[in-house]
């Protein structure tokens, strides 16, 4: 665990068995496919967690005990080198799951899961979710599609990293991360929450180079930088630029 990160236990855990909020939240997820009556099995074991400070949800080498849906804030996937340096390799925004692989994989993750300050999530025990999926196998295809979507983004980024110019690679990285954080990228003004340091790390370039590439994209009108975030006025145009369709 890095000493540079502040860690605090979650400050509130509630299990609102009769709470309509939990039902409303679950009704907007894949679990809605089984119907309201069946979903009550999950409502009974669900809990809402609130976090004041950045908190370690589970460490590398540990199998997560809960499947979590991010309600507000975000979760970072952090990996570190033997030297102690750490890199954020994933960012799960509100509406994302942390993580379905923990439900199906027997091997523990090789990275840490940190939730940001002022965040909340809905937590379901992994064992209960496993039993629920066995009882209602119609859940599996929808979960596979979600996992497949993230895998497709990874393959897109890997392929683009080999074939494109540096500025196109940066554009593709922004495009992929925007898709990862936002379920709809066909709207105007998509906001991507990411630091320049993380972009440099994932693009495997220096911060100075990353800054120069981002300035080029800003000059093209493809991004609008902000503090810890970028606004993408037109995601389709950014993606077309990344794929070489715009001059």
Beta-carbon neighbour count of residue 69 at 10 Å? Answer: 21
CATH topology of domain 12-137: Jelly Rolls (2.60.120)
pLDDT per residue over 156-167, tens digit each? 766 666 667 899
Alpha-carbon span 194 to 185, nearest angstrom:
16
If pLDDT is split at 50, 70 and 90, which confidence band does 76 have? Answer: confident
Average pLDDT over residues 53-59: 93
Read off φ and ψ for residue 54, nearest 5 degrees: -55, 130
User: What pairing do the DSSP bridges indicate for beta strands 224-226 and 229-232?
Assistant: antiparallel
**Residue 101 near residue 65 (C-beta atoms within 8 A):** no
**pLDDT for 7 beyond 50:** no
Q: Which residues of 87-103 are buried (b: 16+ CB within 10 A; e: fewer)?
A: ebebbbbbebbbbbebb
Angle (nearest 5°) at CA 156 between 70 and 31: 30
Phi-psi region of 44 (alpha: psi -120 to 50; beta: other; left: phi over 0): alpha
Q: What tokens does 133 get? A: 């999926």
Whose structure tokens read 């605090």?
A: 8
The model's pTM is: 0.73
pLDDT per residue over 119-146, tens digit each? 999 999 999 999 999 999 999 998 888 8
Domain locations in the chain as residue ranges: 12-137, 145-242
Give the range among 141-145, 187-191, 192-196, 198-202 with minimum mean pLDDT. 187-191
**Residue 160 near residue 168 (C-beta atoms within 8 A):** yes
| 145-242 to CATH, choices 3.20.20.210, 3.20.20.190, 1.10.10.10, 3.40.980.10 | 1.10.10.10
Which of 10-24, 67-81, 155-169 is most confident? Answer: 67-81
């Amino acid at each position: 665990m890095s000493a540079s990160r502040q860690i605090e236990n979650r400050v509130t855990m509630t299990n609102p068995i009769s709470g309509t909020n939990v039902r409303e939240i679950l009704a907007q997820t894949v679990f809605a496919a089984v119907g309201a009556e069946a979903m009550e099995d999950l409502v009974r074991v669900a809990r809402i967690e609130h976090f004041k400070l950045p908190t370690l949800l589970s460490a590398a080498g540990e199998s997560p005990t809960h499947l979590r849906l991010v309600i507000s804030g975000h979760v970072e996937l952090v990996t570190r080198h033997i030297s102690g340096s750490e890199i954020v390799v994933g960012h799960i925004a509100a509406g994302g799951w942390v993580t379905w692989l923990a439900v199906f994989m027997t091997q523990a993750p090789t990275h840490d899961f940190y939730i940001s300050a002022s965040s909340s999530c809905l937590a379901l025990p992994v064992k209960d979710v496993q039993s629920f999926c066995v009882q209602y196998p119609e859940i599996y295809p929808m979960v596979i599609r979600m996992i497949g979507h993230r895998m497709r983004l990874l393959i897109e980024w890997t392929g683009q990293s080999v074939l494109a110019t540096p500025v196109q690679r940066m554009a593709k990285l922004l495009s992929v991360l925007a898709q990862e954080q936002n379920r709809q990228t066909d709207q105007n003004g998509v906001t991507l929450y990411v630091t320049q340091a993380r972009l440099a790390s994932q693009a495997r370039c220096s911060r100075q180079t990353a800054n120069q590439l981002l300035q080029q994209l800003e000059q093209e009108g493809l991004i609008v930088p902000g503090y810890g975030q970028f606004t993408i006025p037109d995601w389709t145009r950014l993606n077309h630029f990344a794929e070489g369709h715009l001059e």
